[in-house]
Structure 1
Amino acid sequence: MPERHQAITLQRGWSPEYYLKKAEDNGPHTLRFFKKLMDSKLVIDQSYTSCTGLLRLMDAYGCVRMEAACKRGLRGHKFSYTAIKTILDNKMDLLEEESIKEFRIPAHNNLRGPESYN
């Protein structure tokens, strides 16, 4: 990175530790999402603008909704500002998680077992 760009980065206080600390203060899902976002970029400096945007979303929508949106966002495969913004704008973070239903055939006398096929 050019020297002037490095100076701006230092002036703004952009560092992985800063963003991860802010995410950790919000919750574990937010922290995991920030880590995945940073890992998805070739150069970690490319993730700073997305992280700044996510912090603005946290201020706008609140910590609880941001944590729920990050939890939902971790189920996907795209880790970006846009993914979380879409979840928050469409209120998908407010939907209850669907429980996984287990379907079983009820036991009754009518079913034949393996001994019937000898």
Structure 2
Amino acid sequence: MDWYRDQARGIGDEAVELIECIIAKRVHPEQAYRSCDGILALSRKVGKVPLLRAAKIALSVNEPTYSFVKRLIQNGVSDLTPASSPKPARLPEHNNIRGKTYYQKP
């Protein structure tokens, strides 16, 4: 287990947290070794930056699994930056909108 954490430290903080979550989810830590091996292999295959982005997304949506991280990388979701995500549009102003005063009790 410590070996996986040490290897993840070489990648980044999100990778360490991801490895720790994967290990913690298992009843026996040995059951998580293959998933941890897969995470480390992904970092060698695609690089540290895409893996760290995917790990951050996986941790934020509480889905810290190898398969989820792999799908994020395969689908290119980890390449998105916060600036490229669409911002919600504001509704246009017009006379037909009632406003909060309409619903006030007399």
TM-score computed with the length of structure 1 as normaliser: 0.69
Q: For the aligned residues, what is the CA RMSD?
A: 2.7
Partner of 1:85: 70
Contact between 1:40 and 1:79, CA under 8 Å: does it hold in 2?
A: no
Contact kept in structure 2, 1:51 and 1:81, CA below 8 Å: yes
Larger Rg: 1
Alpha-carbon distance, 1:75 to partner: 1.9
Q: Does 1:64 align with 2:45?
A: no
Inter-partner Cα distance in structure 1 for 2:50 and 2:105: 57
Q: List per-residue Cα deviations over 1:68-98 (Å, max 9, x = no partner).
A: 1101111223322111110110010011234
Question: Which consecutive unaligned segments of at least 5 residues does structure 1 have?
Answer: 1-15, 104-110
Match of 1:11 in 2: none
Write the letter of the residue equivalent to 1:92: V
Post-superposition shift, 1:112?
8.1
Unaligned runs of 5+ in 2: 91-98
Shift, 1:99, TM fit? 8.1
Task: Look up the equivalent residue of 2:73 and give its one-letter code.
Answer: L
Identity of paired residues, percent?
Answer: 20
After TM superposition, give the deviation of residue 34 of structure 1 in Å.
0.8
The answer to whether the Cα contact below 8 Å between 1:58 and 1:66 also exists between their aligned partners in 2 is: yes
1:73 equivalenced with 2:27 (yes/no)? no
CA distance in structure 2 between the partners assigned to 1:100 and 1:20 by the alignment? 36
Does the Cα contact within 8 Å between 2:12 and 2:52 map onto a contact in 1?
A: yes
